[in-house]
Every structure is written in structure tokens, then in C-alpha cells.
Structure 1
Amino acid sequence: MPASPYLTSLRERVGHDLLLLPAVSAVIRDDRGRVLLARSHGDEQWALIGGGLEPGEEPATAIVREIREELGVDATVDRIIGVYGGERMFITYPNGDRCAYVTAAYECRLGSDSFTLEEDELADVAWFMREDLRSLAAQPYVVPILTDAGLYD
């Protein structure tokens, strides 16, 4: 999904400078206890489904929207896991844009396991068992969220 009009207007004013942005992340589990992770184009590290909030948007509403946009399915929010920030949440995009995110992580369930990936954003998604998570190359922010969700020790 391309940048929102709000973010685009900010970037027109500040260029590639660091922006502090609110975001949401989803810990999506299935009935077998697996967790769903995704990889973006050009990034070999696994991440959680998620994205930025729009002005005036409630975080729980935003994560349902992000799941629908990225996976093409409806979701239910079960609970908030926690709120995360700090250096793990800094990212520099290929175009040079720098962001520091503060993300609210939610445990979610999907209405269907038949995905239609947002091809401009996601290269791949896969389900992983808890015991497989330690061996994955994941974005730095993923481990503390999965630890708090009880999936990583």
C-alpha cells in the first residue's frame, strides 16, 4: 500500500528526516498454535503484519484495517499485548525515509486462512510453530512482542 496522504504531506515538508510515528502490529495465531509472519519485498527478515495509524484512527481499528489491506481477510482483535518503542523500532527505508515507530501490538484471529497478499507490500507470509521462531531471521522488534505474547522464551 502506498504511503497515506497524511504521511506524504509530512514527507514533502521534512524530506527523509526522522519522523516519530504511531503504528500497530498483529500477533496472529491459528488453532494449531502457529504464528503468522511476513516478509516485505527486498527484506529477508520476518516481521509482524502491521502499519501506521491514520489521523483520528483508533489503534484496534487500524490493525483490523492493516490485516484486511495486507492479507485480504477480516480479523478479530482479542487483546492488546503491549506498546513498544525505542531503538528496535527505528527503520530506514530503501528510499532514505527514516522513521521511529511506537507500536501497539494486538493478538488477533483471522476470519479465514485463505489470503490475498498485498503484492506491492508483501513478498511472502508463512505460519511458524513456537519452536521454529528462535531460528528465524526476524526484525528486531518482533522478539519482545512475541515474548510478551507467550510465544518466545
Structure 2
Amino acid sequence: MPMSPYVAGLRRLVGPELLMLPGVSAVVVNDAGHILLGRRSDTGQWSLIAGAIDPGEQPADAIVREIEEETGVHVVVERLVGAAMHPVTYPNGDRCQYLNIWFRCLAVSGEARVNDDESLEVGWFPPHALPDMPAWERLRVETALKDEPMAWYAQDGSHDTELGFTHSDA
């Protein structure tokens, strides 16, 4: 899916300079306990399903929309899992820092498929056999699979590299 009209308007003003944006991601689990991942068309990496929050949209609504748009899977949000800043430099040089809010979601219907141009493929993976993913993605999976009563967040003074983020992660 192309850049949202909102972000495209900002990019016309600031070019590739840093934008801070709200984003969401999800650890989607099916009845077998497998996790839904998409292989991104921009980087070729396997990733959790994620996206930007549109102006006026609530985070939980945004992740439900993103999952359906990207994979055709319908979910219910089970719980908020965590929040952290996430730097990204896209292949075209655009720089963003997302305030990412991630959720645990349960798949309730639909067949996982490539449903837009953001993914090359989608699939279900058992937690013990996930493909190669950045450390920050694995952190999100680990926190979502725990039964913690509180959401995870970066401790005071945490830096990107301590959280497994590099500025070229996407």
C-alpha cells in the first residue's frame, strides 16, 4: 500500500528528514498457537504485521485494519502488550521514528494470504521456529506470549541499541 496521504503531505514539506509517527504492530496467534508473519516487499524480511495509525484512528482499530488489509485475516485484540520507540530508515532514505504500540491478537476468521503490495508472502509459524527477524521483533513476540498483567515498556534511559534497534531496521 502506498504512503498514506497524511504522511505524503508531510514528506512534501520535510523530504526524507526524520518524522515521528504513531504506529502499531501485532503478534497474531491462531488456535494452533502459531504466529502470523509477513515477508515485507520493501526489505524482504519476515516481520510482524504492522502499520501507521491514521489521523483520528484509535490504535486497536488501526491494527485490526492493518491485519485485514495486509493478510485477509480477521482478528480480535486480546490485550495491549507494549510500547516503545522504533527508528526506521526506509530503502528510499526516508527516516521515521515510530511510537509503536503492539498488541496480542487472536485470529478469528479469514485465510492468510498476500492481500496488498506490502508483503511478498504471509504465513503461520510455530513460536519455536520463527524465521530470521530483527531483535526488536523477537522482543515483541516474547512479550506477547508471556501472561504479564502489565504492558512492556522501555525502562528510563534505554537507548535504541540496548533494545536491539538500529537505524536501518524497517
The answer (yes or no) to whether the contact 2:71–2:115 under 8 Å persists in 1 is yes
1:23 maps to 2:23:
yes
Identity %: 43
1:84–1:117 CA distance, 2 compared to 1 (3 A): same
- 2:118 alignment partner, one of 113, 118, 121: 121
Larger RCO of the pair (alpha carbons < 8 Å, separation 6+): 1
| In structure 2, distance between residues paired with 1:82 and 1:27 | 11
What's the CA shift for 1:123? 0.4
Unaligned ranges ≥5, structure 1: none
2:104: which partner in 1? 107
TM-score (structure 2 length as normaliser)? 0.80
**May I ask how many residue pairs the two structures share in their alignment?**
146
Q: How does 1:28-39 map to 2 (within 5 A)?
A: 28-39=28-39
What's the CA shift for 1:75? 1.6
1:141: which partner in 2? 136
TM-score (structure 1 length as normaliser)? 0.88
Read off the aligned partner of 2:133 and give its amino acid letter.
A
Unaligned ranges ≥5, structure 2: 147-170
1:77 maps to 2:72:
no
What's the CA shift for 1:42? 4.5
1:9: which partner in 2? 9
1:40: which partner in 2? 40
What's the CA shift for 1:113? 4.3
What is the alpha-carbon root mean square deviation over aligned residues? Answer: 1.5
What's the CA shift for 1:149? 1.4
2:90: which partner in 1? 93
| In structure 1, distance between residues paired with 2:29 and 2:98 | 23
